[in-house]
Structure 1
Amino acid sequence: MMVLKDILYKVAINAVVGSTATKVRELNFDSRKIAANHLFVAINGVVVNGHDYIDVAIKNGATCVVCEELPSMLVEGVVYVEVANSSQALAVMASNFYGNPSENLKLVGVTGTNGKTTVASLLYQLFKNAGYKVGLLSTVKIMVDTVEYKATHTTPDSLTINKYLSEMNDAGVEFCFMEVSSHGIHQYRTEGLHFEGGIFTNLSHDHLDYHKTFAEYRDVKKKFFDDLSPKSFALVNIDDKNGLVMLQNTKAKKYTYALKEYADYKAQILENQLSGLLLKVNDSEVWTRLIGNFNAYNVLAIFATAELLGLEKVEVLRLISDLESVSGRFQYLISDTKITAIVDYAHTPDALKNVLETINSIRTKNEELITVVGCGGDRDKTKRPKMGHIASALSTKVIFTNDNPRNEDPNEILNEIEAGVEAQNYKKMLIIADRKQAIKTACQMAQPNDIVLIAGKGHENYQEIKGERFDFDDYKIVKEILKKLEK
C-alpha cells in the first residue's frame, strides 16, 4: 500500500476532491482489472475513453480516480484528482509507485523507423556476453536478465514498463535497452523515466495512419531527445538528414555516427558478403556475422553506445564479432538444394529497399531474387504502392501476398500494392493472397543458388485476419517447405 500523496509527486494537478492521505494498493487504467483500494486512471484513448468507465471502476472497488474531467456526480468516499493529461499523469504515477526504478539502472532508449529492435537486442546480447546483468524491452521480447516475457507492443504502457524495470532492480540488472516507438512517445509512455542515453537510427515513411504528417512523426521522435537530461548522451545517425534535427534542442551530451558524413563514430565497409561484414570502425577492423549496409549502421550504433557506457574498445570489438542476428531480422537458411531463404521484418518502403539492395549487392546476378511481400491492414495505406514499386523493381520475381490483413479486405490491400508496379515489371509479378501458398510457390520457382526473400513479418509468429490471430511463422514455414522439396 502506498499513500496517494506520494504517488502524485510531480504530477501536474488541476483539482483534488477528497484526501490525498488515502492509501492505494494498485494503479490501473483498465476498469475490468480494478479491485478494492485501487486507483483508476481514466485515459481518453484512441479507441476507448476511460472516462466512460469511471462508475464501473468505482463499483469494482476503486477508491481513487484520476481523470481529465471530474464526473458530474461524485461518489462519497472516493478521491478524485483532475489532471491536464491522464496518460502523462499515469506515467509519472507509475514511476513513483514502483520507486522510480529507471533511476537505479542505466536505461538506454533506441528510436527511429528501422533498426530499433536490432540495436536494442544486440546491445542486450553484447552486455550479457560481457558478464553484466541486463534488461531488454523490445518488440520481440522482454528480458529481465535471463527471464523472458512475451512482448505485446514496441513500447509497453507506462505501468508495464515500470513494473518490469522494478523487477530488473530486484534482479540486480545494471543496464537496460529499450525500443522507444513514436506511439510510445506521443502517448507519454516514457514520461518520468530517467534515460542514461538515447539512440536515433533513421527516419523514413511509417505510421502516417497515426501521425498524419511526416513532420509530426519526426517531431514526436525529436521530443524524446528534447526531454533527455544534461547527464545523458544523445547518439544520432547523421547520414540521415533528421539526425541533426534530433540534436537541435537536446540538453544531453551530443554524439554522432555515420558511414558517409564526418562523425564521432565512423565506419567503412571493407567486405560485404552473405556470411557477414568486415568493417573499419574508426581506426579498428571488426568482422561481424550481421549482413548488409543497414547492419553496418546498427553495428556502429552498438559500438558507440557500448563505449559511451564505459566498455573498453578492444572488448567491444571482440564482443561485436560474437553477436548473432536477431530473430526475423535478415535471418537466413540455406537448403540442401542450395536455395537461400531470408526472413526479414522489412515492412516499410525504406526497410524493404535496404534489404533488397543489400541482397543485390551480394549476389552475383546469376541467381534469381524472388521476393514474397505484403502490407498490413488497418495501417498506413500510402506506403502500399511504394512497397509494390520497390519490390518489383529490385527483385527478379515478386509475389504479393497477405501480411496481417486485420479488418481490411485482403484483395483491396493487394490492389493498392499492385498500383505501384510499373508496366515493365508486370511480367515479374504474381499475386497469391494465401501467404503459405505464396511462400511455397516462391520455393518451387527457385533453382539452386537462387534467393527467396520473405519480407514484412519477421519475428511475428501469427497472422491477424478479421480480429483473429492464427499461428504463422515465416521462418518455420519456409524451413518446412524447403525440407519437403529436398525429398
Structure 2
Amino acid sequence: MRTKRLSAILQNEMDDIFDPWVTGVETDSRKVSSGNVFICIRGYTVDGHKFAEDAVANGASAVISEYPLDLDVPNVVVADTKQTAGEVASVFYDHPSHRMRIYGVTGTNGKTTTATLTYDLLRLSGRRAGIVSTIGARFHNQTIETANTTPEAVVLHRILAEMVDAGVTDCVLEVSSHALMEGRVAGIHFHAAAFTNLTHDHLDYHRSMDEYARAKARLFEQVEVTNGEAIVLNAEDSASHVMAEFAPTRRAIMYSTTVDVEADVQVIWRDETVLVRMKEFKLEVPVRFMGAFNAANLAAAIGLVSTSDMALRTIVSNVPGLTLPKGRLERLATEDAEIYIDYAHTPDGLEKCLSTLQQDDRALVVVLSAAGDRDPTKRQDMGRIASRYSNEVIVTVHDVRMEDPKQIIRDLVKGIQPDVKYVTFEAREEALRHAATQALEGKRVVVVGKGHDHIERIGRQSIPFNESNILLEELKKRKGQEPAV
C-alpha cells in the first residue's frame, strides 16, 4: 500500500505530532478510509467543508480546507482546495504525469473524436497508450467509467498512476473548459496539447465567448509552465491566436484541411480517402469514417502524435484502421433502416453532422433536443439549423434536470423555419419511437444530443436510458406489424 507523510505530500515541514501517515487522498467523505487525507472541495451544490467531521469519523488522518475547522486531526488551511487537490494527488501518486507523455485535447466540438483518434494512432503504432475522455478511461483492454469528461483531480491522478503501473507510456486527456476552471487537471505535466475549435456553447457557465476562449487557453498555459513539447492549433479558427498567447515559448504546430491555408499538417478530405501533407511528406490513404469535418480532428491527432518522435509514415499508415468513437455519426446496427446517432449538442456540431448526412435526395429527419439547466441561448440557433438541413424535425428533450421540458421545446421551436414540418414530444422515448417509424418509411434519420450517453438526468435522478436499444426494439415491433406480402 502506498503511504506518505502529510508533510511529504504538502512539501512542507511539520511537527511530528501533526504529521500523520497518509494512506490515500479523497474529496468524497463517503469514500474516506483509515489514514486518508480529506480535501474539502466546494462544488455546484455541495460544500465539502460541511462533511469534514464525517470524513474524520470514517478515519481521515488529516483534513485540508479553505478555512480553519474544529477537528480532532491536523487541519491544513490553503487558499484553493481545488488546485491543492491536484498538486497533493500528483505528489501522493509519485507524479504519474511526469512518467509518461500526456496529450491534452480541448475545444468546443471534436474533443472526443480527436482524443480517440490520437489514442488509436498511438495504440495502432505499437505504443502502450491510454485515454481519459467523455467515454471513460481505457488502457490495456480495461475500461474505467468516469463521471465527467475530465474526472476531478484526485480521481484523474489515481487513474494515471494505475496506467503508469500497467506500463502505459502515452496517455490522451480530453480536457473541458469546466475542468480547466475547476482545477481538475491541476498537477498534470502536459507533453503537448491540441485545440480543435471555439463555437457557441456553455455561455450559461462562461459569461462571454472571450471568457470561454480564455478558459480553454488555460490548457496551453499549463503546457507552457510545465515545459511541454508543443501546442497543436487549428489554422482555420481565429481563437487559435488566444491559445498561442498563453504558450509563447512552446513550439506551435498548425493544422488545416485545405491547401489554401498554410499549415504544418494538412489533411485534405476526399470522401473515401484523405491526403496527408506534412513538410516534404505526402501520402493519400483510405478512411473508414464519415464527415469532411473529421479531417480537422484527424489533422489535430496527427499533429499531437508527431510530437512523440514517431515516424510520419508510421503514423499515417495507421489512418485506415481508425474509426470514430461511439455516438459520433454512429450508424445503428440494423439493415432495416438508416438511423444515425450523434453527440451534436451545439449549433456548429449540429450543422456539421446534418450537412454530412444531407448527401442526396433522400428525406432527412432529425430528432432534435437540448439539455435542461444548460445554456439556453444556443437552442434557437439549433432549431434554425435543423430546419435548414432536414425535411422534418422531431423536437424533444434530454437530461431535463430541473427545467420544464415545455420551455426547452419552445426555445428549440422558435428557430424552426415556417415551411418545415415538425412534431414535439416531451418524452424522449416517444420521440425515438416516432423516429423509428419514419426510418421504416425509407427516410434517413439522425438522433442528436446524447451520443454515447446511456443515462437520462431527470430532476435529481439518473435513470438508465439506451436509445439504441429503444430504436432497435421499436423497429422490430413495427416490422412485426407489417402485413405479409
- Aligned equivalents of 1:35 and 1:335: distance in 2? 48
* Residues 308-351 of structure 1: CA deviation (Å, up to 9, x unaligned): 212222222221111122110010147545x4211100011110
- Segments of 5+ residues of structure 2 without an aligned counterpart are 481-485
Residue equivalent to 2:300: 301
Which of residues 41, 44, 51 in structure 2 aligns to 1:46? 44
* Residues 408-443 of structure 1: CA deviation (Å, up to 9, x unaligned): 221121111112223333xx2111222232222223
Please list, as runs of the form range in 1=range in 2, the aligned pairs for 1:288-437 lying within 5 A after superposition: 288-333=287-332, 335-337=334-336, 339-360=337-358, 363-364=359-360, 366-425=361-420, 428-437=421-430
Shift in Å, 1:379: 1.1
Residue equivalent to 1:3: 5
- Aligned equivalents of 1:371 and 1:445: distance in 2? 10
Paired residues in the alignment total: 470
Residue equivalent to 1:246: 243
Q: Contact 1:277–1:290 (CA<8 Å) still a contact in 2?
A: no
Amino acid at match of 1:107: I
SS in 1 for 2:289: coil
Q: Contact 2:338–2:439 (CA<8 Å) still a contact in 1?
A: no
Please list, as runs of the form range in 1=range in 2, the aligned pairs for 1:29-68 lying within 5 A after superposition: 29-68=27-66
- Aligned equivalents of 2:129 and 2:268: distance in 1? 30
Please list, as runs of the form range in 1=range in 2, the aligned pairs for 1:130-279 lying within 5 A after superposition: 130-228=125-223, 229-250=226-247, 251-260=249-258, 261-270=261-270, 272=271, 276-279=272-275
Residue equivalent to 1:480: 473
Amino acid at match of 2:251: K
Q: Contact 1:91–1:191 (CA<8 Å) still a contact in 2?
A: yes
- Aligned equivalents of 1:334 and 1:135: distance in 2? 27
User: RMSD between aligned alpha carbons?
Assistant: 2.1
Amino acid at match of 2:339: A
Q: Contact 1:277–1:291 (CA<8 Å) still a contact in 2?
A: no
Call closer, same or farther: CA 1:82–1:169 in 2, change over 3 Å. Answer: same
Q: Contact 1:328–1:343 (CA<8 Å) still a contact in 2?
A: yes
Shift in Å, 1:302: 1.8
Residue equivalent to 2:483: none
What is the percentage of aligned positions where both structures have the same residue? 33
Q: Contact 2:189–2:228 (CA<8 Å) still a contact in 1?
A: no
- Aligned equivalents of 2:184 and 2:333: distance in 1? 41
Amino acid at match of 2:95: N
- Larger displacement relative to structure 2 (85-94 or 309-318): 309-318
- Aligned equivalents of 2:388 and 2:15: distance in 1? 63
Shift in Å, 1:474: 2.5
- Larger displacement relative to structure 2 (84-93 or 226-235): 226-235
Which of residues 89, 110, 122 in structure 2 aligns to 1:115? 110
- Aligned equivalents of 1:367 and 1:107: distance in 2? 44
SS in 2 for 1:382: helix
- Aligned equivalents of 1:104 and 1:332: distance in 2? 39
- Segments of 5+ residues of structure 1 without an aligned counterpart are none
Q: Contact 1:113–1:204 (CA<8 Å) still a contact in 2?
A: yes
* Residues 98-136 of structure 1: CA deviation (Å, up to 9, x unaligned): 010111111111111111111112222222222222111
SS in 1 for 2:204: helix
